[in-house]
Amino acid sequence: MSSIKQNIEQVISQIGLAAEKCGRPVDSVQLLAVSKTKPIAAIEEAIAAGQRAFGENYVQEGVEKIQHFSDSENAAALSWHFIGPIQSNKTRPIAEHFDWVHSVDRAKIARRLSEQRPADMAPLNVLLQVNTSGEATKSGLAFAELAALADEVAAMPNLVLRGLMSIPEKADDYDSQLAAFQSLADAMQTLKTLHPQMDTLSMGMSGDLDAAVAAGSTIVRIGTAIFGARDYGEKTSQ
């Protein structure tokens, strides 16, 4: 069985190859290790292997992990990204503990995060989650709603609008994957004329990393390929 350290090395080399193939610097793509449902020990192993950025989907579980590592020697170097769906009654612990949120898709959530961000913390880095596939079931806002929300979020005092995120509909062929990611990259290019500080595209998972990097991804979110399959047995809600 391969170790978490070996898995991380493997994923990093895959990211490196994808970047090289399209002439991008290897360090222009950050690996976000998605540790949802995984124990503290697994995160410790990843940290020992040099991993510093972690993604969590469930508020309480994520906060417990952040608190656990807050006294560790690497605490200042770690960054914690909330990437799951957000209920409006769960915004406070997100605002009080996380460094990044990838899944903001409405003004009400953004407003609460800004209001609840403690004054002694750096502003919360925010990505707007866009539904690039137009499916009714997936979360994320439509392209048509994006500019208005970007303007609102950019004006909120305790948030920094950093970019966009999407989880496209699963596609096996490279061209459809690329088209979905390219549509997100194009949207950011347009928004950047008004919001030049936007610099982050969170797109790409294990199965579509190459296309995501080719389209300009700056953060790829990888869980299973690092930590192995997840067991949702006891998880009932966030």
Ligand X SMILES: *Cc1c(COP(=O)(O)O)cnc(C)c1O
On whether the CB atoms of residues 95 and 117 are closer than 8 A, the answer is yes
Task: Using CB under 6 A, pick the residue from 7, 51, 57, 132 that binds ligand X.
Answer: 57
What per-residue string of b and e applies to 144-160 under the rule 16 or more CB within 10 Å gives b? ebbeebbebbbebebbe
Task: Using CB under 6 A, pick the residue from 63, 66, 83, 130 that binds ligand X.
Answer: 83
CB of 232 to ligand X, least distance (A): 11
CB of 212 to ligand X, least distance (A): 11
Taking alpha carbons only, the member of 231, 208, 236 closest to residue 221 is 208
Query: CA angle at residue 219 from 217 to 121, to 5 degrees?
Result: 135
On whether the CB atoms of residues 182 and 146 are closer than 8 A, the answer is no
CB of 96 to ligand X, least distance (A): 21
Is 10 a binding residue for ligand X by CB under 6 A? The answer is no
Residue 161 neighbours by CB under 8 Å, 6+ apart: 126, 128, 150, 153, 154, 195, 197, 198
Kindly indicate which of the ranges 68-76, 87-95, 106-114, 219-227 contains the residues binding ligand X, using the contact rule CB under 6 A.
219-227
**Footprint of ligand X on residues 172-211 (CB under 6 A)?**
205-206
Judged by CB, which is closer to ligand X: 147, or 228? 228
Kindly state the number of chain residues that form the binding site for ligand X, as judged by CB under 6 A: 12
Query: Binding residues for ligand X, per CB under 6 A?
Result: 34, 36, 57, 83, 167, 205-206, 221-225
